[in-house]
Structure 1
Amino acid sequence: MRRGRRLAVDVGEARIGVASCDPDGVLATPVETVPGRDVPAAQRRLAALVAEYEPIEVIVGLPRSLAGGEGPAAARVRGFAEETARRVAPVPVRLVDERMSTVTAARAMRASGVSAKKGRSRIDQAAAVVILQNALESERASGRPPGQCVEVVV
């Protein structure tokens, strides 16, 4: 397991959830929810978070269908990840499968007594935590960085 903090991002149309982990990669925790409708502003905020947290990588959840296919949402997230990679280089950006992350996060929030209405602003952060925790577990099990690295196109 590589040592170093990571940031994870759950990209939605309206909001972008951000999570981080400790330098040992043990525990993922929520950071903030970034408004997502103004993409350039969201990109600037993410770049500022990367500068603040100094992660070894940024993990972006890639939405896939249950069968593993990619649709319009995945194409949008791939574009977002490519722009993020340009902005935060040389920090690598990795795409990881995020199937069921929002469902898992919503279930956990309901189980802890948070109502859907009150939890709406936090669900994206919770989904980013799920994405990051899964990526950390994947790396721990395989010994390899999770997902696929986004190539920086200049």
Structure 2
Amino acid sequence: MAGDHTGRRLGVDVGSVRVGVALSDPAGVLATPLVTLDHDEAGTDLDRLVALVDEHEVVEVVVGLPRTLAGRDGPAAQTARAYAEALTGRLTVPVVLSDERLTTVTATRTLSDRGVKGRKQRRVIDQAAAVEILQGYLDGRRAARRAEDS
């Protein structure tokens, strides 16, 4: 399985305007919000992600793949795949894609339940979606390891 070793993982939610970023603890158990970057054509968001990987000694980057409910790739999934490819070309750590269906919906609901609404919610929704992507990936890895061990 890719990324079997322990270490911090970075979760990335690629949007057309912003890129949400989450970071795991070193044990790969808990994802927390880190930062929201402006997504731009100049690639400064990619530069910042590379710097974050170095700064936090990240061992793997998980990019959310927004597939349709029918499991197909739409334009957003193509954008995420291209973004992951661009990151792969700049990093020495693995970059993996993880299905992120409904993560933004879940993140929005969670933020609303916590009383975060309107403009404040827009500022953190991308980070919250990145947390959902990364946490789902971490939970899936742990479940797969448990299944292998039994």
Same structural fold, with TM-score higher than 0.5 when normalized by the shorter chain: yes
Separation (CA, whole Å) in 2 of partners of 1:102 and 1:2: 28
| Residue 39 of structure 1, CA deviation | 4.8
Alignment: residue pair count:
143
Query: Are residue 59 (structure 1) and residue 62 (structure 2) matched?
Result: yes
| Residue 122 of structure 1, CA deviation | 0.3
Separation (CA, whole Å) in 1 of partners of 2:18 and 2:60: 21
Q: 1:33 aligns with which of 33, 36, 39?
A: 36
Point out where structure 1 has 5 or more consecutive residues left out of the alignment: 145-154
Q: Which amino acid aligns with 2:131?
A: V
| Residue 27 of structure 1, CA deviation | 1.1
Q: Which amino acid aligns with 1:83?
A: A
Separation (CA, whole Å) in 2 of partners of 1:96 and 1:4: 18
| Residue 37 of structure 1, CA deviation | 2.8
Identity of aligned residues (%): 53
Separation (CA, whole Å) in 1 of partners of 2:41 and 2:128: 21
Point out where structure 2 has 5 or more consecutive residues left out of the alignment: none
| Residue 38 of structure 1, CA deviation | 3.4
Separation (CA, whole Å) in 1 of partners of 2:28 and 2:118: 29
**RMSD of aligned Cα (Å):** 1.3
Separation (CA, whole Å) in 1 of partners of 2:120 and 2:134: 23
